[in-house]
Structure 1
């Protein structure tokens, strides 16, 4: 058996004791301490999640997550864990998934499947399976080591303005001048489902958590809802907005959120129904004391159910460009 085959043999047997005497300890630690595995574990711990918490969120057993953090398991489990943890790599080609990134990296480096197989000790069939999102984490890590040895975790985008603002990072309010453009383009706002008592947004009805309302569970209503959600829960609020719009509870929804488009749900669901406006420059949000600060990230306006005239009016008032629904 080649040395390169030991991690695969370990995965198949699940035990270091099955490896050749004298080699087991070092080989079993090869993938357990790979930077991808170490950083994945660190990302989970940074969220304050136990292994069983992550397991519940991605629909696998706690043992599967435990094995994943030892470099063992399926690439499918790794991929869904990365999505749940908002975990992405830099230093490797672009792609919708890690498997696609590896395939694009191989093509970019002009490496054939046969050449990569020889280099990694894997079979061409195994490499093809990994590039399709299958096979094992151990195989994927060996390919990653060969094609992108300097790959590392991409730093998570800050969802707050500064280190001292962590406690109120979600208590930021859309400035009045921006809201005037929203009113002019889309009309009067019937509902602000994630309102704050200090927010300057003018709406006929506001759901305020402190008053017992909850826009994530209460039914929406009216012609127009404006959503400037807590950025730490952006995807959750976008899903809720789409759900209420599809249900016919609200005619038009305008959402102001960070320009994050990496989720599979954004590409597979939201892009089909929503018009997305990428803002030029940074909006200066208001904090709880009334001070204004520009966002440290780019923003987009996600719109559901608007007319062409409304979209054109908004573009005339606010610099940026539309990505129309597909």
Structure 2
């Protein structure tokens, strides 16, 4: 029998966009005193803020000039991290990122290590929200991390 993470690697190209539970988002915002204004990796059902950008709208087509949150799809984390970091630097905005925790990756060392203001490893695996806004049957196959980049 294949492990859950191996099964996930197979299915990641089929569906890897999940919603963030709002209570987790609200708790981390309060803890780190960060209050994003726009959710840049959202759907019409799964968004944690009233102001959001959907996959169809494509956040890469925007200049993000306000504090933002993103929970990027696993299959494109590197490209989203590059975008988030560039917007943070270019527009001096704060960003809160929720992604999987893989500290040996190139993107971690390029955009997080020695650059993030706060890094919090999520205790336990998150049960994300499916495309209908319901908790998924299984928890995430990887550990998760919150990354905070604050404006200077």
Higher helix share: 1
Q: Give the direction of change, closer, same or farther, for the CA distance of 1:296–1:257 in structure 2 (3 Å limit).
A: same
The answer to whether structure 1 residue 227 and structure 2 residue 70 are counterparts is: yes
Q: Is the 8 A contact 2:13 2:75 kept in 1?
A: no
Aligned-partner Cα distance in 1 for 2:108–2:7: 19
Corresponding residue for residue 298 of structure 1: 143
Residues 50-89 of structure 1 correspond to what in structure 2 (within 5 A)?
none
Q: CA RMSD in A?
A: 2.8
Report the CA distance between 1:250 and its aligned residue.
4.7
Report the CA distance between 1:296 and its aligned residue.
1.3
Aligned length: 145
Q: Is the 8 A contact 2:36 2:96 kept in 1?
A: no
Q: What whole-Å deviation, never above 9, does each CA across 1:88-109 have from its counterpart, x for those lacking one?
A: xxxxxxxxxxxxxxxxxxxxxx
Q: Is the 8 A contact 1:193 1:215 kept in 2?
A: yes
Corresponding residue for residue 62 of structure 2: 218
Residues 119-268 of structure 1 correspond to what in structure 2 (within 5 A)?
160=8, 167-170=14-17, 172-185=18-31, 186-203=33-50, 205-210=51-56, 213-222=57-66, 224-247=67-90, 249-268=91-110
SS in 2 for 1:167: coil
Q: Is the 8 A contact 2:127 2:135 kept in 1?
A: no
Aligned-partner Cα distance in 2 for 1:301–1:268: 16
Q: Which runs of 5+ in 1 are unaligned?
A: 1-154, 308-326
Q: Give the direction of change, closer, same or farther, for the CA distance of 1:206–1:218 in structure 2 (3 Å limit).
A: same
More relative contact order in 1 or in 2 (CA 8 Å, sep 6+)? Answer: 2
Q: Is the 8 A contact 1:191 1:221 kept in 2?
A: no
Q: Which runs of 5+ in 2 are unaligned?
A: none
Q: Give the direction of change, closer, same or farther, for the CA distance of 1:294–1:265 in structure 2 (3 Å limit).
A: closer
SS in 2 for 1:219: coil
Report the CA distance between 1:257 and its aligned residue.
0.3
Q: What whole-Å deviation, never above 9, does each CA across 1:9-58 have from its counterpart, x for those lacking one?
A: xxxxxxxxxxxxxxxxxxxxxxxxxxxxxxxxxxxxxxxxxxxxxxxxxx
Report the CA distance between 1:294 and its aligned residue.
1.2
Mark the structure with the bigger radius of gyration. Answer: 1
TM-score, normalised relative to structure 1: 0.40
Residues 263-278 of structure 1 correspond to what in structure 2 (within 5 A)?
263-274=105-116, 275-278=118-121
Report the CA distance between 1:176 and its aligned residue.
1.9
Q: Give the direction of change, closer, same or farther, for the CA distance of 1:291–1:161 in structure 2 (3 Å limit).
A: farther
Report the CA distance between 1:302 and its aligned residue.
1.4
Q: Is the 8 A contact 1:161 1:169 kept in 2?
A: no
TM-score, normalised relative to structure 2: 0.80
Report the CA distance between 1:306 and its aligned residue.
6.6
